[in-house]
Each structure stands twice: as structure tokens, then as C-alpha cells.
């Protein structure tokens, strides 16, 4: 092709973040309305990567630069002579999977330019190489969720698509506080090392809540799912993934009728995810969160996956 193209989208983790790093299951919801597109074309001279936050020659110490170089090597192309442009509506660095989404789009665009169709396993491995530069020890959940069109249950690298019979809405809101996934994952690890017994008990509790939450989603038990989200937040707070801005927005959601609310992703800032009983309630909660200072809100309904 003269121009290679790739697409991916945001994700929000419903239950299981952090515990997933230790092999427990996690559930992630794709957010198809928040998209990233990458285009790749041939140019003369050194390769260039153009994203919303950087423009310049390929840098192997940069996660997305790594992604381009690894994909070029995978398809047997030279490291020079390609321009990759990444654009989208997905906010960057908010715990919505922007790095993995951009990487998925880039891998597909570069492979497409060279006429190579990748299978899921190859795409995943290429995305994970960049994610390791970004986060250290990524579970792979973001890499899988940002390229799936339906919710995933992710366990130790294995992907399943759980049944969803869900009539409520999820509202994702950005606290505006900047959280680093790398730091949050390192802080949780430090907690588990310093308090091994308590740490293991908390991770086991997150696993129990995730397994129960999957059953709630399948049976459309909204109240139970909300209760489990709240319980997961208590555990994530104790593990060190909380933040005052998260606590504040969760209180606003609860006061406006949310059935449950918790951080989503790495935490220590970033976004929260709340559960609303129905679309009208979701609109009310979203409005209240924006009035309380959330930088943005996004709603996810079961129809997004129909």
C-alpha cells in the first residue's frame, strides 16, 4: 500500500487492575468512541514519528519509537524511510490505555504499509515490547483491550470474551491528576514486599471481586456489581493506588446515585469508573462529575458492543 493504516481505541478496566500483574484475572471494557489512528508512508532519509506530544526521528528509548523499529524489523524492512503519524481523540496519560492503543495502531499501520497481515499473537508481542519500555512489567491487559471490540477477561496472558447482559451504563471520568502506571505498579509491589501477608490477602480479595463481578455482568446484577466496585476501591486504596482527586470524584458519583465507583487503570490520579443504573442516571452523574472539576467524562453502554 502507498499508505499503511492502523486503528485502536481506549479501554477502561472494570475490575482487577494491579492484581492482574500477579496473574489474577481482570475485566476491561473497550471505549470505541475514543480512537487512535496511525498512518505510515515511505519517505526519503531517516524515519520520523509524529504524535500529538512529540515529533522527531525514531528513538529506540521511546516506547512508540521502539514499536515502529520492532515492527519494521519484524516485516523485514530497513529502519529508515518511513514516516508514522499518530492522531486521535484518546487523551494521553490518563490510564485509558493511550500508549497501548497507539502501539497497536502503529504496528498495524507499519505492517499494512509493507503488505503484511499480522496475527493476534505477533501484534501482541510487538505492542508488548514498547509497553515494556513504557511501564516495565505490563500484564498485557492494555495491549489486548485496546485492540478488542468487545469486553475481555484477561488472565495471565489468556483472553476470553465474557457474556454481557448488562442494562446499566458506565461513566468514566478524568480526575485531571497525572498518575504514572509505572510508579503505581512499583508502589503496589513495594507494599506487597513490606507486608507480604496483608498484600497477598488484598490481591486475593481483588481476584475474588473480579470473578464475582464477571458473574454479575453476565446476569445483569447491577447493585451487586456496584458493591464490588466499591469494595475493590477500598482494597486499591490500601495497596497505595489511591489519590485524593480519585476519592473526591468517587464521593460526587456516590452522592449523585452511582451504584459503585472506583479508580480505573494504574491509579494515583488518572480516571475513575462509575456504574449508573440506566442512561438517565449516567447523564446526571456525568454532569455532576464535570461540575466537580472532572476534565472529561465518557459513557459506555452495552450497545457499544452490540
Going 116 to 150 to 212 to 268, the CA torsion angle's sign is positive
Q: What number of chain residues touch ligand MEV (CB under 6 A)?
A: 15
Judging by beta carbons within 10 Å of its beta carbon (0-12, 13-18, 19+), is residue 212 exposed, middle or buried?
middle
Answer yes or no whether residue 9 interacts with ligand MEV by CB under 6 A. no
C-beta neighbour count of 173 within 10 angstroms? 28
Answer yes or no whether residue 181 interacts with ligand MEV by CB under 6 A. yes
User: What is the Cα–Cα distance from 108 to 106, expressed in whole angstroms?
Assistant: 5
Q: What is the Cα Rg of the chain in Å?
A: 19
| Stretch of residues binding ligand MEV (CB under 6 A), selected from 133-141, 155-163, 199-207, 293-301 | 133-141
The correct pick among 6, 30, 65, 138 for binding ligand MEV (CB under 6 A) is 138
DSSP 207-234: HHHHHHHHHHHHHT-HHHHHHHHHHHHH
- Select 29 or 185, whichever has its Cβ closest to ligand MEV: 185
Answer yes or no whether residue 266 interacts with ligand MEV by CB under 6 A. yes
Q: How far is the CB of 264 from ligand MEV (least distance, A)?
A: 8
Answer yes or no whether residue 20 interacts with ligand MEV by CB under 6 A. yes
Answer yes or no whether residue 285 interacts with ligand MEV by CB under 6 A. no
Tell me the per-residue interface mask from 21 to 60 with ligand MEV, x by CB under 6 A, - otherwise: x---------------------------------------
Going 72 to 75 to 80 to 85, the CA torsion angle's sign is negative
Q: How far is the CB of 278 from ligand MEV (least distance, A)?
A: 28
The DSSP call for residue 118 is: P
Q: Which chain residues interact with ligand MEV by CB under 6 A? A: 13, 17-18, 20-21, 95, 135, 138-139, 141-142, 181, 185, 265-266
Amino acid at each position: 500500500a502507498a499508505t499503511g493504516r492502523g486503528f485502536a481505541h481506549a479501554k477502561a478496566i472494570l475490575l482487577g487492575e494491579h492484581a492482574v500483574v500477579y496473574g489474577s484475572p481482570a475485566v476491561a471494557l473497550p471505549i470505541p468512541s475514543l480512537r487512535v489512528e496511525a498512518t505510515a508512508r515511505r519517505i526519503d532519509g531517516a524515519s520520523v514519528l509524529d504524535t500529538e506530544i512529540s515529533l522527531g526521528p525514531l528513538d529506540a528509548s521511546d516506547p512508540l519509537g521502539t514499536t515502529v523499529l520492532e515492527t519494521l524489523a519484524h516485516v523485514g524492512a530497513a529502519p529508515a524511510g518511513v514516516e508514522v503519524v499518530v492522531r486521535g481523540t484518546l487523551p494521553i496519560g490518563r490510564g485509558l490505555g493511550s500508549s497501548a492503543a497507539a502501539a497497536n495502531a502503529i504496528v498495524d499501520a507499519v505492517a499494512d504499509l509493507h503488505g503484511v497481515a499480522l496475527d493476534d499473537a505477533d501484534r501482541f508481542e510487538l505492542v508488548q515490547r514498547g509497553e515494556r519500555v513504557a511501564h516495565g512489567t505490563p500484564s498485557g491487559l492494555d495491549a489486548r483491550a485496546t485492540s478488542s471490540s468487545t469486553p475481555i477477561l484477561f488472565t495471565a496472558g489468556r483472553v476470553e470474551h465474557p457474556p454481557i447482559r448488562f442494562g446499566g451504563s458506565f461513566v468514566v471520568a478524568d480526575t485531571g491528576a497525572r498518575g504514572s502506571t509505572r510508579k503505581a505498579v512499583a508502589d503496589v509491589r513495594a507494599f506487597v514486599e513490606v507486608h507480604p501477608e496483608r498484600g497477598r490477602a488484598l490481591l486475593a480479595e481483588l481476584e475474588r471481586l473480579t470473578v464475582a463481578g464477571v458473574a454479575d455482568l453476565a446476569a445483569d446484577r447491577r447493585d451487586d456489581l456496584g458493591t464490588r466496585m466499591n469494595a475493590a476501591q477500598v482494597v486499591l486504596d490500601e495497596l497505595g493506588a489511591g489519590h485524593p482527586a480519585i476519592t473526591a470524584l468517587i464521593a460526587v458519583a456516590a452522592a449523585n446515585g452511582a451504584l459503585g465507583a472506583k479508580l480505573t487503570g494504574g491509579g494515583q490520579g488518572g480516571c475513575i469508573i462509575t456504574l449508573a443504573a440506566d442512561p438517565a442516571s449516567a447523564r446526571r452523574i456525568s454532569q455532576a462529575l464535570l461540575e466537580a472539576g472532572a476534565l472529561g467524562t465518557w459513557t459506555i453502554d452495552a450497545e457499544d458492543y452490540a
